[in-house]
Each structure stands twice: as structure tokens, then as C-alpha cells.
Structure 1
Amino acid sequence: MPSICQGTWDCQICPKAVSNAITHVIYRRGFHKPAQKCEENLILFLMKGEILVNSKEYAGTMLKEGEFILQAIGSMFEMLAMTECECIYYRFIQPELFCDFRFNHIMKEVSPPLIYTPLKIIPELQYFLNGSITYLKGDKVCRDLLSLKRKELAFVLGYYYSDYDLSNLVHPLSKYVNSFQYFIIQNYKKVKTVEELAQLGGYTLSTFRRIFNNVFHEPVYEWMLARRKEGIWDDLNNSECSISEICYKYGFESLPHFSNFCKKSFGASPRNLRRQDIS
């Protein structure tokens, strides 16, 4: 086998290198992160110092050394470093920290806390975090290593923390998913494009697409296109609206454009579709 010179080998350019979802950060006293929507689910482990955090769950909460909190994707989050702070962030999209059975059990059987309070970093978790810092120096990390560290974190949280403790993490995740779904169902008919829907929710386009795919398990454009087709089919067969009214209701610029869309989507013109027996 050819030898590899360790002096010139750069893991950051390896094909297996991926953006590091577990990062080690040091903040100076007075560092302020203004309120903004979280683009991913975020667990903040405070290793040293004190941070004043502000969100719906943790309104004006002083996060102290040896504590951690979760902020769900899409939630508003603000922080101010009261002292010099050392943190470890764990960012994720899918709630990989729990098996489906545990997640659903906590959702159904364990009530959410009346007041959200930071969880303590127990010795087993502290050992994991201290050991992880070594791997968090670069912008990227080996995909295989990251997968192992995620599994180890999932084991530590699942094994050493109670269902009640984990309800501090599970319920915010589930609540956000439900509220995001409600927002989509209530507003997708009001817009014509994915860009307009993202803007209506206050998201960047890339963030909105990522969140949508996580919640609905399909790309937002394909989902909106399917709903558009369903609405057109229903209006053509079950409403008294004219073809022109349906055309402009769904944002088509002209009847020929609308007709071409129907032929491509349903195999027939709007007029012929209206004549079809839907039974």
C-alpha cells in the first residue's frame, strides 16, 4: 500500500469531510447574539461562564456553567455572554437523540414542564463533551466520526436522563413541528411561489426548504405543486367557477398557459376535464 505523509495530509479536504454539527465556541464577555430564528435544532452546552438567554421557553434565563438547553428549529433565540464563556453546540435537523418509541412515549405519557429550566450536565455527559472538544477544531469533521459522536450523545442522554428530563427537549421539538405544519396549511393557498411562502413565514429560502423537507418529508416545491393540482382538479369537477376564473385563481397568466398545464398534468384540456365523470 502507498504510504501517506501525515505532515501533508489534510482531513478538511477528504471526501468524507462534512460540516461539523458539533462545534466548540469561546465567547468574550459582552458578546451578544440578537434575537433570530434558529435555522436548525440547537442544543447549547455551557462548559464555563454564564449566559443570559431569552426565548419563549427560556425567557430571561441565566444559563450557568454545567447546564444545557435546547432551542427548536424556527424558534426565536437571543443570548448575551455575562462572562467569558466556553460552549459546545450540537446542531441537528432530525431528532436523532431518541428512538421513535421513546419520543412518542414522552409526547403521550409525560406532560411538558410548566416552566422550562436548563438541564444539568451530569459527569457522564461532561466526559463525553470534554472528549469531543479534541475533534472540534476544524470547520469540517469526518462523516463517520460525526455519526459515532451523535450516537454516543444519544446514548448518554437516553440512558442517564429521565423521561421527565427529556420532556424539556422532546416537547419543544414536537410543538414546533405542529406549529410549522399549521402555518403551511393556513397559508400555502395565499401565495404563488415557494419564495413568497418562505418570506411570509420570515425564513430565508434555504432555511425554509430545509425545515419543510424535515417536517413534510418531501421538497416544498413538489408538495405545493401537488396541492395546486388537487385544487385545480377539484374546482374543475366540483365548482361552478368558470375556466377563466380557475385559471387566474391559480396564478396562470393566460388560458393557453393554463390549458398546457392541465394537458401536461392530467392528460386533457380544462374543458375536457370538466366533462369527465369523476366517479
Structure 2
Amino acid sequence: MYITYYMKDGSDRKKGSMFKYFEFPAKEVLEKDSFEKCNYLIFNLEGEIKYIYNGSIHRELHTGEMMFLGIQANCMLTLETEAKLLILGFDELYSLCDKFTFQALSPIQSMLKYEFDTLDIRYPMDDFLKLQIEYISNHRFDSYLFDDKLKELFIIFRAYYSKEELSMFFYPIIAKSMDFKNMVLANYRNDMRLEELAEVCLMSKRAFQRHFKEIFGETCEQWILREKSKQVRYYLSVTDCSFKEIIDKLGFDSSVHLNKFCKTWFGMSPTDLKKTLNIQKDCLKN
């Protein structure tokens, strides 16, 4: 199930950012996809987790470790045991102080060869996380407290983790090489064409296509279709959207167009795909 599904909240907290605490059963599967347009900090307080990052990195997240999944990340986490997770979702940094912190890390980051990795949860981060769970359990969080705690979190990062550790850990939001990718993801809309995307990224169509292929490893047209397939799967599995709403949201011309698309990408009609996804969801719950 997508992390977004678990992070859904009825409030109108600004920018959708929040801490949430979960106690998951063994064998639960969590997914993070680039179209979710959110950064996640996942703190593993208890449990053993295997994950696949961007389709190629197969590793484990142990008890007492944390991972950062940037907006552009694709990740699948399989819980080998029961797990207790605290997850922070945010789409951007609020505090100018936080932004300046990451800007200061840029010179160090430019000398590093990026390799996705986790960090250990060390003192006083562990005590800070326990306090957040206490706030959540007693329904004490509001937007003012959240903003204060988010700032406090990054103060702990700056004070108790080295610049080298932070540069590697938060590489996806400070690396210059990520700027183009983040720009594409930030500006891409569900029904957008290549020409429109190139325009909002302030590039000619030819230059955009060339740069896109270098960064993403596929053509923009292929990527747009792949993103659309992910979003179809998301809307059918996580939301209560009707087929008509999905057609409107994702820019399909008609129900025939949606049906043809699903058969091409999933080998079945939208109705059968929704049934299959619901069965998978029920199996995970049981």
C-alpha cells in the first residue's frame, strides 16, 4: 500500500506535512512513488524491514535506523517482522534556517559520490522521537507545535550528525544534479504533454528532450506513460474515485481510452484491475 494512503489526514495542515506513528503487522508492504510529490523521513523504532530503492538497491532497515526518501524516490518496503514506525512527510522545508543549513552542505556534497544509505537513530534523536509519539498518542499536535518540532528535528540533525553524514543522507534535496529532476517532478501535472513540461521548465523542446533522456534514462513520452500507469493504479487502489473522475484527472479522452490503456499496461480492464487491487489490499489486511 502506498505510504500516502497511511499518511492521509482529514485536516488541512499546510502543505500536508505531519508526523504519524504506526504499528504494522509483519509482511506489510509499503510503497513510495515519485508521483506522490512528498519527502518522507522514516524512523524504524522496532522491526526488521527489507527495501528496494529505485528498483536496483536491495537492502535492510534495522531497528534504530532511519531513511530519507526524497520526492523523486521510488521505494518498496517489506516488513519482515512487526514494526513500529514514525513517519514524517513534508514537501518542502519551512524554516530559512533549515534551507541555509542545506545550502551550506552543497560544497561537501559536490565532493561525494552519492550512495543511498540509512542513518542510525542516536541520542538525543531517540528521545525526541519518543516525545513525538507521546504527542500523537494524546492528540496534542497542532500546526504550531508541528512547526516547532520540525525546526527542533533539524537542529538535532545539525548538532549530532556530521556534515558528511547529512550531505549523503539528504543528497536528493541538496544535490545540484537533482535540480532538473526535482523541477520536472514539481511541475508535472497528470494530463501534461511534453511541450507543456518543457515550457514550464523554461527549456526548448529539443534541449528538454535531450536533458530528460540523460537524467531519467528514458524518453519523456515513455516516462509520462509510465507515470500515468502508476497513477491509474494508485487511484484504483487507494482512492474512491470513479472511472469518470480518473478519466478527468488523468486526461484520458474517454472510457474507451482508459480501457485500452489499462489493457496495454496491466493486461486487464479497469474494472478487473480494481478488483485485483482490492483483493491484494484485503489480503494484506488479513
Deviating more after overlay: 136-145 vs 49-58: 136-145
Separation (CA, whole Å) in 2 of partners of 1:137 and 1:114? 37
Structure with greater helix percent: 2
CA RMSD of aligned residues (A): 4.0
Structure with max Cα Rg: 1
SS in 2 for 1:132: helix
SS in 1 for 2:155: helix
Match of 1:24 among 13, 21, 27: 21
Structure 1 residue 170: deviation in Å?
2.7
Q: Does 1:68 align with 2:66?
A: yes
Match of 1:94 among 85, 92, 95: 92
Deviating more after overlay: 142-151 vs 110-119: 110-119
Separation (CA, whole Å) in 1 of partners of 2:14 and 2:225? 35
SS in 2 for 1:141: coil
- What is the count of residue pairs matched by the alignment? 193
Structure 1 residue 70: deviation in Å?
0.3
Separation (CA, whole Å) in 2 of partners of 1:145 and 1:90? 14
SS in 2 for 1:181: helix
What is residue 77 of structure 2 aligned with on the other side?
79
What is residue 124 of structure 2 aligned with on the other side?
124
Match of 2:33 among 30, 36, 59: 36
Separation (CA, whole Å) in 1 of partners of 2:171 and 2:11? 38
Is 2:114–2:171's contact at 8 Å kept on the other side of the alignment? no
Separation (CA, whole Å) in 1 of partners of 2:100 and 2:41? 21
Deviating more after overlay: 14-23 vs 146-155: 14-23
Deviating more after overlay: 55-64 vs 174-183: 174-183
Is 1:113–1:167's contact at 8 Å kept on the other side of the alignment? no
Match of 2:57 among 56, 59, 72: 59
Is 2:30–2:77's contact at 8 Å kept on the other side of the alignment? yes
Structure 1 residue 200: deviation in Å?
5.2
Letter in 2 for 1:164: E
Separation (CA, whole Å) in 2 of partners of 1:140 and 1:20? 16
Deviating more after overlay: 106-115 vs 73-82: 106-115
What is residue 283 of structure 2 aligned with on the other side?
none
Structure 1 residue 68: deviation in Å?
0.5
Q: Does 1:170 align with 2:176?
A: no
SS in 1 for 2:86: strand
SS in 2 for 1:116: coil
Structure 1 residue 94: deviation in Å?
1.1
User: Are residues 58 and 144 of structure 1, via their aligned partners in 2, closer, same or farther at CA, if it must alter by over 3 Å?
Assistant: farther
User: Are residues 171 and 15 of structure 1, via their aligned partners in 2, closer, same or farther at CA, if it must alter by over 3 Å?
Assistant: closer
Structure 1 residue 106: deviation in Å?
1.5
What is residue 44 of structure 2 aligned with on the other side?
46
Letter in 1 for 2:69: Q
Identity of aligned residues (%): 17
TM-score by length of 1: 0.57
Letter in 1 for 2:195: K
User: Are residues 16 and 81 of structure 1, via their aligned partners in 2, closer, same or farther at CA, if it must alter by over 3 Å?
Assistant: closer
What is residue 159 of structure 1 aligned with on the other side?
159
Is 1:42–1:90's contact at 8 Å kept on the other side of the alignment? yes
Separation (CA, whole Å) in 1 of partners of 2:112 and 2:227? 27
Gaps of 5+ in 1: 1-11, 206-279
Structure 1 residue 193: deviation in Å?
11
Match of 2:182 among 180, 183, 190: 180
User: Are residues 58 and 22 of structure 1, via their aligned partners in 2, closer, same or farther at CA, if it must alter by over 3 Å?
Assistant: farther
Q: Deviations over 1:190-229 (max 9, x none)?
A: 57999xx995572659xxxxxxxxxxxxxxxxxxxxxxxx
Is 2:18–2:90's contact at 8 Å kept on the other side of the alignment? yes
The 5 Å alignment of 1:144-155 reads: 144-155=144-155
SS in 2 for 1:44: strand
Structure 1 residue 61: deviation in Å?
1.1
SS in 2 for 1:127: helix
What is residue 105 of structure 1 aligned with on the other side?
104
